[in-house]
Amino acid sequence: MTSSAVSPPVSANRTAESHDGKRPLLSLRGVTKRFPLVLANDHIDLDIYAGEIHALLGENGAGKSTLMKILYGFYRADAGSLALEGRPVQIHSPADARKLGLGMLFQDFSLIPALSVAENIALFLQDVGPVVDLRQVERRIEAFAARYRLQVRANVKVSELSLGEQQKVEILKLLLSGARILILDEPTRVLAPHEVTALLEVLVGLRSDGYAIILITHKIKEVLACADRITILRGGRVAGAMLRAEADEKKLIACMFGREMPDVTRRPRSVTAETPHPVLELRAVSTRAEGAATSLKEINLAIYPGEIVGVAGISGNGQRELGDLVLGMISCAQGEKFLFGKPAGRLSIRQARREGVAFIPENPLAMASVPFMTVLENIALTRPWRYARRGGLTLDWAAIRRDALAGLEKMAYQLPLYAPARTLSGGNLQRMVIVRELGLGPRLILASYVTRGLDVQSAVAAQQALLDARGAGAGVLLISEDLEELFALSDRLIVLYEGRIVGTFRPEETDAYQVGYLMTGAGGAHDSRR
């Protein structure tokens, strides 16, 4: 099919043949992809049919994105095969994928803000000649737009469009270029609720015209609203595959998070609630977010000394913002923040750190370390006042080294102290940050995904360090996606969904199922405070 001849496909024939017993349009067999520390895809089989919406459901890190990147030619699979309409195919690059009729809608759009909608689309098309006939492109846009409710103003600059409109442009781009299989990577993440409904309607329209749609998501409601076929990934494997008719909320959640209950070990709380001041208190705090960030809404939270409060949630639901808010990177648009019993709305990050706030961010390379500086320099960075001598003219490197070695010994970690941070593996980088932040008796620890990238032994050491800090009277805000970890460590558990606290639990009165239910936005709020 040459793309110049593309027009909306005629509906009848393809829709008819897509059901029961028909040949899949695209099939993956035994696709396997291994990254240095993780088996991202483990023998995945997947069949995509024309005229169907196929939902690919799973937590972050379940392997959805890797699988789709293999399909779109960004990664090469280590093993496995692909077949299009029964013929084996090789996809080495996104260009190959496009030739075969695959189109991918990325989470971050690839439009050029300064160009108009028509110009952006013309850029993407292969068949536009050296002289761009924008009128012709506009006519083609209109043909598709009218058919699939994707109306956009073709001569308006992209910078003037809302995110929802930009997404329409992205979809049009794929349609005009002749894609028959559309891969949508978490398309509703950036959309307002009414835009979500509109998008789902667009997808239904495309389905009835014979397009195959792969919808990557972790929102169960959307899956149940429009999918025909559902494949659930967990830990890089297919955890379940079913037709819409066989699926319900309960089944999907069980599949997504695993049926097994986390092994809960109870320990008595070290400090009782009579302690006068919480180390952290947020009173009805809301923040204002820009771009794709999540804004926090009406957050009420108090952490007392000697307490670990776990934050459950699928990443991107406000966890990063919550950590940054407490640290002081972003300020409260509404509400009040207290640290160690004192108002802290205008406290600088340095002051907060001097007061004893430790911060282990979700991304140690981007948010915590300076790549070309050595491990020792990176460790000195958090408390330069502690090591400055002669008013700052020199630094006491022996003291920095002593602190670092003491921290490493306590955790039983090993690190090359003089290697630049950028040469460290992800695990070592995480170890560096943990040693730095937990080293000197913090009073409030903001820890995100502490054990990410660590081997079992190191992970246990990190968790033990958090428990030790709790025993010493520190408050801990523990953000994690690992429910097992949250259940094992937390004294209380809150669930974040779209920037809101949708559940507050004591771990012993709930289970992974109930928490997972709230994490995916599938239920009303639950509250059992303190």
Partner 1 sequence: MTAAVDRTRRERRLNRRIADAALRYLLMLLLALGLFGVILLLSGKNPLHAYADILRATLGSTYGFSEVLVAMTPMLITAMAVALPSRVGLINVGVEGQLYMGACLATWGALTFIDLPAWALLPLMVLLGMIGGAAWAFVPGYLKAIGLVNETITSLLLNSVAPKVVSFFIFGFWHGPMDTNKTANFVSAARLPTFFGTRVDLSLIFALALLVLFWYVMRYSRWGLEMRAIGGNPQAALRNGIPLKAYQVGIMCLGGAIAGLAGMALVSGYFGLLLANFSSGIGYMGFLISWLSFGDPLGVLLVSFLVSVITTGGNLLQLTQGLPYAAINILLALALYIVLARPTFVRGAK
User: Considering the complex, what minimum distance in angstroms separates the CB of residue 498 from partner 1?
Assistant: 24
Residue that is written with structure tokens 């300076």 in the block: 370
Q: Which is nearer to partner 1, 204 or 373 (CB)?
A: 373
149: closest CA among 208, 225, 221?
A: 208
User: Considering the complex, what minimum distance in angstroms separates the CB of residue 490 from partner 1?
Assistant: 24
User: Considering the complex, what minimum distance in angstroms separates the CB of residue 448 from partner 1?
Assistant: 12
Structure tokens at 400: 């920095």
The answer to whether the CB of 80 falls within 8 A of the CB of 43 is yes
User: Considering the complex, what minimum distance in angstroms separates the CB of residue 288 from partner 1?
Assistant: 15
User: Considering the complex, what minimum distance in angstroms separates the CB of residue 420 from partner 1?
Assistant: 10
Q: Which is nearer to partner 1, 185 or 377 (CB)?
A: 377
CA distance 485 to 479: 10
| DSSP H or E stretch at residue 181 | strand 181-185
Residue that is written with structure tokens 């469009």 in the block: 161
449: closest CA among 353, 519, 367?
A: 367
CA distance 186 to 220: 12
Structure tokens at 8: 């909306």
User: Considering the complex, what minimum distance in angstroms separates the CB of residue 387 from partner 1?
Assistant: 7
User: Considering the complex, what minimum distance in angstroms separates the CB of residue 434 from partner 1?
Assistant: 15
Q: Which is nearer to partner 1, 76 or 389 (CB)?
A: 389
Q: Which is nearer to partner 1, 271 or 405 (CB)?
A: 405
Structure tokens at 371: 């790549």
| DSSP H or E stretch at residue 430 | helix 426-438
Q: Which is nearer to partner 1, 162 or 351 (CB)?
A: 351
Strand residues in 205-360 grouped as ranges (E): 212-217, 229-234, 237-243, 280-286, 299-303, 307-312, 334-339, 342-343, 357-360
Q: Which is nearer to partner 1, 155 or 351 (CB)?
A: 351
Q: Which is nearer to partner 1, 161 or 435 (CB)?
A: 435
Structure tokens at 485: 């970890």
Structure tokens at 78: 């280590």
CA distance 466 to 462: 6
Q: Which is nearer to partner 1, 118 or 380 (CB)?
A: 380
Residue that is written with structure tokens 């924008």 in the block: 134
Rounded to 5 degrees, φ, ψ at 24 are -65, 145
CA distance 280 to 340: 6
CA distance 182 to 361: 34
Q: Which is nearer to partner 1, 271 or 293 (CB)?
A: 293
Residue that is written with structure tokens 């079913």 in the block: 242
Query: What type of residue sits at position 431?
Result: R
CA distance 270 to 265: 15
Polymer length of the chain: 530
User: Considering the complex, what minimum distance in angstroms separates the CB of residue 416 from partner 1?
Assistant: 7
Q: Which is nearer to partner 1, 231 or 430 (CB)?
A: 430
Distances, alpha carbon 494 to alpha carbons 221, 256, 502, in Å? 21, 20, 7
CA distance 99 to 3: 9
User: Considering the complex, what minimum distance in angstroms separates the CB of residue 290 from partner 1?
Assistant: 12
CA distance 504 to 494: 4
Binding site for partner 1 (CB under 8 A): 324, 327, 329, 348-354, 359, 361, 366-373, 377, 380-382, 384, 387-388, 392-395, 401, 414, 416-418
User: Considering the complex, what minimum distance in angstroms separates the CB of residue 369 from partner 1?
Assistant: 6
DSSP 160: G
Q: Which is nearer to partner 1, 135 or 354 (CB)?
A: 354
Structure tokens at 443: 């009073």
User: Considering the complex, what minimum distance in angstroms separates the CB of residue 361 from partner 1?
Assistant: 6
User: Considering the complex, what minimum distance in angstroms separates the CB of residue 383 from partner 1?
Assistant: 8
Q: Which is nearer to partner 1, 16 or 349 (CB)?
A: 349
